[in-house]
Amino acid sequence: MSPSPQPGPVPSPGAHSPRPNGASRTISEASLQRVENLPGYTTPVFKGKEEQRAKVQAEVAAKGFIARELVANEVNWFYSHLGIDDTYFQNESVSVISDHIIALFGAKVLAYTKHDPNKLVIDLEKIDEKGNGATFIHTSRPGLTSKEGPAYRIDALYLDNSTPEKCYRLETYRSTGSISATASQQLRCYFITKCNFPSPPPPSTRTDGKTDIRAVSDRSFLEKATEHTLQVYQEIMWRVESRYGPVMEVFEVEGSRERRLVIGYKMGGTSRFFSALSNLYHYYQLYSARKYVEQFSNGVTIISLYLNPMPNSSAPPIEHSIMQVMKEASLLYCLPDNPFFLDVSDANHAVQEATYAYCGWVFAQHFCNRLGPAYLQLKNTLDESNPAHAEVLNNIKRRFREETFTRESIAQVIHAHSELVRLLYVNFAMIHYPTATDASLMPTLSYQRLQTTQPLSDAELYDKIRRSVPSKQDLQVLESFLIFNKHVLKTNFYQPTKVALSFRLAPDFLPEIEYPKKPFGMFFVIGNEFRGFHIRFRDVARGGIRIVMSRNKENYSINQRMLFDENYGLASTQSLKNKDIPEGGAKGTILPSLGANPRRCFEKYVDAILDLLIPGQSPGIKERLVDLYDKPELLFFGPDGMDINTGADPPVLHLIHCAEGTADMMDWAAMHARDRGADTWWKSFTTGKSAQRLGGVPHDTYGMTSLSIRQYVLGIYKQLGLREKDVTKVQTGGPDGDLGSNEILLSSDKTVAVIDGSGVIADPHGLNREELVRLAKLRVPVSNFDKSKLSKDGYLVKVEDQDIKLPSGEIVLDGTDFRNGAHFRFKADLFVPCGGRPEAVNISNVSGLVDAEGKPHYKYIVEGANLFFTQQARISLEKRKVVLFKDSSANKGGVTSSSLEVLAGLALSTEEYIDLMIFKDGKPSDFYKSYVKDIQFKITENAAAEFQCIWREHARLQGSKSRTRISDELSSTLNDLQAELEASDLFIDLPSRKGVMQKAIPKTLVDQVGLDTLLDRLPESYQRALFSSWVASHFIYKYGVNGSNVDFFHFARDLAH
């Protein structure tokens, strides 16, 4: 796929925009996007209308509900004076039409008895039982949204879940006549029909490779659309296909004040959008004469609105307000279901103010529930190293999060203080609203609105809030809005087009008591069906994007409350693991709403963050933002899998690693960054890309993570003089997974049990090694183990098994329960967790790994799976003399591999990268194979060096400090030294810099590109990080955490050599 422009709309009136032939329109030309005053659709004339009228009149009379002398008049009014389109009469049966006439007559009688013509309400519907469509007819006052109207149901039933395989087109129009001589209401008719795409599709008439709209259209649409409409929709469609966000265009109708707004987007890109658009144009006192929703088999949706000003309107003229409607439609596309806008009669917030209120609402949910001084006093009193005290603190923290501020209570505060929220919005907008760059452009309505409200300084605004709000809780919520305003450094809020809202925050507002280590940067993303964060602890940082899925509403509430804390904890843990690579720790989290598509949430999250990383250069599409940070930023994303909340209390999260799915998502993100204009860094934007398609280095294929785990296992054997084939081992994570399969393939021990998602395979005499290797090579779980290869004491228990007897005579009632606790029942020399739930062993169950005599089940533990043990559980086991190496030391091979994947992306030009890193005919280049070997060598070297450093320090202290704490201190010392070195002038010394870079960059890359060229290409911030990480890690690994200044002097003196 060739690079495409940034997501956005067709250039709108008032914007410079490129034309296909390279010429550009002037502003005056763009503002004259006129169309003739003709319908965009032809209305078919129903030739059988008079014959049908006669049959309807006879049936109405026969039913007897209307006096015979009145029947002719009622039927005539319905057919001739209401102004209902012939589409209705052609589509409906005689029986349905007669029922509608009777219903209309009955409604008139009811309104008469109430002596109020305004009480005349019609609400008719016919929904096809086979799912082929529906008809809705109801009374509708121009310019007013009816909460009882069918628009919301139409969204839910027919539009929100559209796919090319099942989608519906919609025509809706307002009757030209009123319901009766005494009532002014008009009828609005909605006709929904299931799309009928020809199969096979007709051949395209185009020779340029572009989509031919006629080849992907519904038959009835082609019958009704005029040639001009087809041309307009064709242009819109091409732009939708080449962009990620919505496409918008406004047309001026000659000889009238009508404006036609056409919006195109990819199916599923938003929801509840059709009804939200009605709220929007009604806010500006516009009404729609006609509306159309067209669906196409290539996955494109196009909405067309025919908008007119209300008579005697007090709103700004449509000539001005239409552009504001288009601007705000892009915000509605992001957040169509906004509780602070839908109730416009009460809140009276414009869309921009309502969207700001929504963002502040979400921000307050995460950052209002602070723990406060009482928690600090308790924290200082208790001993966090004591597991029981730590658990008490954790429970109190969770209780504070749950009970202080709820989503509902925060929303009530916002509704109750709408005027203060409006002032807070003005405070936000005065900073981030972009100034007009062209004096000939008329100021937008939103800008004019800002000028009518006297902006207050931060101090004045805080004082007004303090004086206006008596409740301390309400005050805290509104203060959080002010905190939000003061810490937003840049946002895509005012971008003409976007798919989600993103904010780059300065993290200074985070209280040190809860977040002792201050992040370097924070991103906050809000979408219609998700919210997310990204936290990094250094300028150059890398980490995975975790998608947190919820099983039910209760789990979603728990995940929502804990999302930021989880993100902070993950990023902080990543910092410990990233100790000897250039990138510091980072992590992203995405929380989809219940039922949301996680892939779509990920794509919107990435696109919204890219809005803040890539300067906008396309007027009307992606424009320059107000950037208070004012420095280029690079983020490096990686795969992380999905968390699924199981509903336990406290919540236990299953981490699902989807190797193929995440590779595809990482591929998409890299290519999308390239399409958006990240010419130099798209190759390094994501790691975990597919090897063949985008030159990624898959950890599982080359055993990258397992290589570092293996160094710790081998280190233990060497230090303690053990023979591997005599060592008994238990492992979680089976032969179907990355770590599990590679652990089997790399080892030659006596494995007595393997536990995975399918069950438990165990044999006290040692599992057949050849059979384990067979499963590992096939990547299938232990349920496929050939039971004939087991000894008489061996057994296989699958999760679906019930009431089965083990060789010992023990009865297993439930296979799943047996599997979940299996790691507590076995004893062996070595335990290597390569999969399983985070916090599977915690302070409340760690006693299960100790027998009745106080003897641990395992002598040595190398924690391959992330977070398998809690910190307290590790320390508890080490107190019982277990030799334990924690995850952030043992499994860092994956992050080393990802780091060097980033380096290749930054160091190679696009042409070199395609030539050297991307497979040809399914095979890697010699460069790729050599580079992978370099990566494997670096992983082995770093892991062995860290193992020796921890082992030496533990011996020096004679076991007085646990290896777990030594590992953490080693990471902290390395990170601190690296930060000091980045800020020092040692990097400026060119001989030292070159000497370090020669050793830090893999030889294959240096030989291919040349050191001087590499130093020209790599961003200086990255070079500083690479230089300081290599110096810090090699110094600490050589001299230990207590290396002196003199030691460093001698070490630094030799850097140039």
E strand or H helix that includes residue 572? helix 553-577
Helix ranges (DSSP H) in 676-762? 682-685, 691-694, 699-702, 704-720, 738-746
Chain Cα centroid distance, residue 559 = 15
The verdict on whether omega for the bond into residue 496 sits within 30 degrees of 0, i.e. cis, is no
Cα–chain-centroid distance for residue 855? 46
CA dihedral sign of residues 533, 535, 541, 545: negative
What does the DSSP assignment read for 149-171?
STHHHHIIIIITT-BTTB-EEEE
In this prediction, residues 306-319 reach a mean pLDDT of 87
Q: What is the mean pLDDT of residues 642-655?
A: 40
> Which two structure tokens, joined as six digits, stand for 421?
């929220």
Q: What is the pTM of this model?
A: 0.85
For the segment 83-106, what is each residue's pLDDT rounded down to a tens digit?
Answer: 777 878 888 889 989 988 888 888
How many CB atoms are located within 10 Å of the residue 36 CB?
10
Query: Rounded distance, CA 115 to CA 109, Å?
Result: 10
3-state class of 4 per DSSP?
coil
pLDDT of residue 181 exceeding 70: no
| Tokens linked to 604 | 């919107």
Instruction: Say which residue, 370 or 945, is predicted with more confidence.
Output: 945
* Cis peptide upstream of residue 650 (ω within 30 degrees of 0): yes
pLDDT tens for 844-897 read: 899 999 999 999 999 999 999 988 999 999 999 999 999 999 999 999 999 999
DSSP class of 77: I
On whether the CB atoms of residues 660 and 50 are closer than 8 A, the answer is no
What values do phi and psi take at 871, rounded to 5?
-60, -40
Q: Which residues contact 741 (CB under 8 A, 6 or more apart)?
A: 700, 734, 735, 775, 776, 777, 779
Give catalytic residue positions. Answer: 587
Query: How far is Cα 188 from Cα 149, in angstroms, rounded to an integer?
Result: 10
pLDDT, mean of residues 965-979: 93
Which residues have CB under 8 Å from 637's CB, separation 6+? 542, 543, 544, 545, 588, 606, 666, 669, 685, 686, 687
Which uninterrupted H or E stretch holds 585? strand 584-592
Residue 187 scores a pLDDT above 90? no
Residue 447: the pLDDT is 56
pLDDT for position 207? 85
By the 8 A CB rule, do 456 and 423 touch?
yes
Query: Which candidate, 435, 432, 492, places its Cα nearest to that of 613?
Result: 492
Tens-place pLDDT, residues 990-1002: 999 999 999 999 9
Give the model confidence (pLDDT) of 23-81 as tens digits: 333 333 334 477 777 778 887 788 899 999 999 999 999 999 999 999 999 899 888 87
Kindly list the distances between the CA atom of residue 1044 and the CA atoms of 341, 580, 970, 1030, 1048, in Å, as whole numbers in the listed order. Answer: 62, 19, 15, 18, 6
Segment 360-417, tens digit of pLDDT: 999 999 998 666 666 677 777 777 667 677 777 777 766 665 566 888 889 999 999 9
Higher pLDDT, 47 or 1031: 1031
Confidence category of residue 1005, pLDDT binned at 50, 70, 90: very high
Tell me the H-state helices in 676-806: 682-685, 691-694, 699-702, 704-720, 738-746, 769-778
Residue 1034's pLDDT band (cuts 50, 70, 90): very high
Tell me what pLDDT residue 838 has.
Answer: 78
| Nearest one of 340, 322, 894 to 578, comparing CA atoms | 894
How far apart CA 604 and CA 18 sit, in angstroms, is: 26
Check residue 25 and give its pLDDT.
34
Report CA-CA distances (Å) from 5 to 8, 24, 502, 688, 694.
Answer: 8, 16, 20, 25, 21
* pLDDT value for 119: 66
- Predicted confidence at residue 342, as pLDDT, reads 62
Calculate mean pLDDT across residues 540-564: 90
Q: What is the pLDDT of residues 608-638, one digit of tens each?
A: 999 999 987 776 677 788 999 999 998 999 8
pLDDT of residue 401: 57
Whether 247 contacts 264, CB under 8 Å: yes
Residue 441 has pLDDT above 50, yes or no: no
Cβ atoms of 520 and 539 closer than 8 Å: yes
The answer to whether 503 and 491 have CB atoms below 8 angstroms apart is yes
CA distances from 20 to 26, 62, 238, 262, 959 (A): 15, 63, 12, 20, 73
Strands 858-862 and 828-833: parallel
Nearest to 690 by CA among 639, 741, 742, 743: 639
CA distance 577 to 585: 8
Provide the percentage of residues in the chain whose pLDDT is more than 90: 61
Least confident stretch, 521-535, 555-569, 658-672: 658-672
CB contact at 8 A, 631 and 536: no
Token digits for 495?
């971008």
**Is the pLDDT score of 430 beyond 60?**
yes
Task: Please write down the long-range contacts of 675-679, taking CB distance under 8 Å and 24 or more positions apart.
Answer: 675/1, 675/3, 675/4, 675/5, 675/6, 676/6, 676/7, 676/607, 676/610, 676/614, 677/3, 677/6, 677/614, 677/617, 678/610, 678/613, 678/614, 679/910
pLDDT band for position 913 (cuts 50, 70, 90): very high
Determine contact, residues 151/275, Cβ cutoff 8 Å. yes
> Per-residue pLDDT tens for 258-274?
999 999 999 999 999 99
Residue 797 has pLDDT above 90, yes or no: yes
Average pLDDT, the chain: 87
pLDDT of residue 255: 86
Question: Is pLDDT of 793 > 70?
Answer: yes
